[in-house]
Structure 1
Amino acid sequence: MIYTVTLNPAIDLVVRLDGPLQAGTVNRAAGEEYVLGGKGVNVSGVLAELGCPSVALGFVAGATGVWLEQGLAARGLRTDFIRLPAGMTRINLKLKDGRETEINGAGPTVPPEAVEALLRKLDALQSGDVLVLAGSLPAGLPADTYETMLARLEGRGVQAVVDASGALLEQALRCRPFLIKPNREELAQAVGRAVNTEAETEQAARELQARGARNVLVSCGGDGALLLEESGAVHCAAAPRGTVVNSVGAGDSMLAGFVAGWLQSGSFTSALRLGIACGSATAFSLGLAGRSQIDALLAQI
């Protein structure tokens, strides 16, 4: 089974304007929609499109948390969230006016007893299961939270996948996760220098591998992706052509496609192709990738 962990899930309010945002005055929306998500939840959503069941774990709170759970259940996603005693699941504003501007909420404070409850849920994972840790931390959780979770699973045959940045990623590397998925900006942050070319991307990925990552998948936007295998082999694939209308969730979709492709085929190259198809399908649409879009783009890679 695949388990995704989203410690700070969200409801994204996507607002579209016909022209540039005018600061300090009233702006009228040309359209709006609510998207239920958070990075791990997005991964679960695309996995479902690919026929891979998963369980979404994490924390929810308040009326917005109820809305999130009910909405995901209506989409056929299985969840096992821990309900917090106070606060509200956050709402993020995604403003599209020819540009993409994001204002992300902070989310509720997570008390220690809720963290312990989540760790007990992870104790049920078995050899062969996949655990995807994705996204930022809510208030009250230390930067070693992912490391604590991974250390608890050490030696049990659970394949850990980490999509994080900064100290959260750096400390998780100590537990030698099966896969990490930085984008180029996050990769540059991790190595402390600019990463632009394919050669620079490969070198930076090797440095993160030396710090503990077994496999490194780097999403490179319109340039596709680079995969550095544990064996040292490198695979690169270009993204298909299309018009980018939405970057939100594209990296999560790539990760979902890669995990599904790897589990279904056992091939890293097939997983990379499916990952790029899923990421591109989301980038070329208003919401998360659909199966028909994924299949059409896969044939182009």
Structure 2
Amino acid sequence: MIYTVTFNPSLDYIVSVDDFQLGLTNRTSSELMLPGGKGINVSTVLGNLGIESTALGFVAGFIGQEIIRRMGEMGIRSDFIVLENGVSRINVKLKSIDGTEINGAGPEISEEAVDCLMKKLDILGRGDILVLAGSIPKSMPDDIYRRIMKRLDGREVMIVVDATKDLLMNVLEFHPFLVKPNHHELGEIFQTELKTRESVIPYARKLQAMGAANVLVSMAGEGAALIAADGKIYDAPAPKGTLVNAVGAGDSMVAGFLAGWIEQKSYEYAFRMGLAAGSASAFSEMLATKEEIKKLLGDGGK
């Protein structure tokens, strides 16, 4: 079974506003509301590809209940811990101004709630896959990723980490199956600027030398590069298409990579599936469907 963890799920309110004006009343020209968060996005794309997963994390209040309800409607299994206090967040994403978002804070998460999550993770073992993705709320311990991986160490759980800075660096000693920084995040770790697929390879190799089995670096329109566990390097430009919505593209790449690996146990195919899934989401209003991914994958994916 695949499990995804989203520590701070959201209800994403995605809107377009024509001719946005500061200081004035603006009206939406389009609206979309979806359960959000990096782990949830991974579960969504996996579900679109016909692969079952269980979404874990914390929810609270009426927004939390709506997140659960909408995920159920989408056919995504969830086992969230429902907090007694606070309310899950709403994230406003303004499509008309690329990259403009207002993200809520989310509820306080107690140590008791964290312990409850740990107990849920105790059932994982050989053959299971765990996806740890995204930032953590301020109320949670900043070593939570490391605590989880240390707790599961030796159980042969394949763990994927999509996080930044210390959250990522502090878990490499536990040999995650896959880490997926983007090129900006990779450059930030090593205090350099990375613009080409060729330039990311030596730094991705450093993460591999520190313990990561596979290092997949997403680069938006530049495509992606993979330093695989078998020592091979795969890189490719992004498929051609029109950027519609970049939200969730990186998460879709993680889902596509896992789906490809499960299907063929081939790093090359997993890489191609990841790139196709990430691009398909970027070219769509919604997260990528199976048909959209397979279309970008090309004849080799049939």
The two structures share one fold, judged by TM-score above 0.5: yes
TM-score by length of 2: 0.97
Counterpart in the other structure of 1:264: 263
CA contact (8 A) 1:11 1:35 kept: yes
SS at match of 2:171: helix
Distance (Å, rounded) in 1 between the aligned partners of 2:245 and 2:144: 30
Counterpart in the other structure of 1:113: 112
CA contact (8 A) 2:34 2:70 kept: no
Counterpart amino acid of residue 107 in structure 2: P
Distance (Å, rounded) in 2 between the aligned partners of 1:234 and 1:99: 32
Distance (Å, rounded) in 2 between the aligned partners of 1:138 and 1:83: 16
Tell me the CA shift for residue 207 of structure 1. Answer: 1.3
Q: Deviations over 1:234-254 (max 9, x none)?
A: 111221100001000000001
CA contact (8 A) 2:12 2:33 kept: yes
Counterpart in the other structure of 1:34: 33
Counterpart in the other structure of 2:67: 68
Tell me the CA shift for residue 300 of structure 1. Answer: 7.1
Instruction: Structure 1: state its 5+ residue gaps.
Output: none
Counterpart in the other structure of 2:86: 87
SS at match of 2:156: coil
Counterpart in the other structure of 2:159: 160
Counterpart in the other structure of 1:3: 3
Pair 1:12-2:9 in alignment: no
Tell me the CA shift for residue 98 of structure 1. Answer: 4.6
SS at match of 1:103: strand
SS at match of 1:58: strand
CA contact (8 A) 1:166 1:186 kept: yes
Distance (Å, rounded) in 2 between the aligned partners of 1:261 and 1:169: 23
Distance (Å, rounded) in 2 between the aligned partners of 1:80 and 1:71: 14
CA contact (8 A) 2:224 2:238 kept: yes
Pair 1:193-2:192 in alignment: yes
TM-score by length of 1: 0.97
Counterpart in the other structure of 1:284: 283
Q: Deviations over 1:59-95 (max 9, x none)?
A: 0000000000011011111000001111111100101
**Bigger mean CA deviation after superposition, 242-251 or 91-100:** 91-100
Counterpart amino acid of residue 52 in structure 1: I
Counterpart in the other structure of 1:220: 219
Counterpart in the other structure of 2:178: 179
Q: Deviations over 1:143-193 (max 9, x none)?
A: 210000010000001000000002211112232211100111111111111
Identical counterparts, % of pairs: 50
Distance (Å, rounded) in 2 between the aligned partners of 1:174 and 1:106: 30
CA contact (8 A) 2:89 2:104 kept: yes
**Bigger mean CA deviation after superposition, 206-215 or 103-112:** 206-215
Counterpart in the other structure of 1:43: 42
Distance (Å, rounded) in 1 between the aligned partners of 2:192 and 2:98: 26
Tell me the CA shift for residue 139 of structure 1. Answer: 2.6
CA contact (8 A) 1:246 1:285 kept: yes
Counterpart amino acid of residue 7 in structure 1: F
Aligned-pair RMSD on alpha carbons?
1.2
CA contact (8 A) 1:108 1:139 kept: no
Pair 1:141-2:156 in alignment: no
Distance (Å, rounded) in 2 between the aligned partners of 1:240 and 1:197: 16
Instruction: Structure 2: state its 5+ residue gaps.
Output: none
Counterpart amino acid of residue 4 in structure 1: T
CA contact (8 A) 1:184 1:195 kept: yes
Tell me the CA shift for residue 232 of structure 1. Answer: 2.3
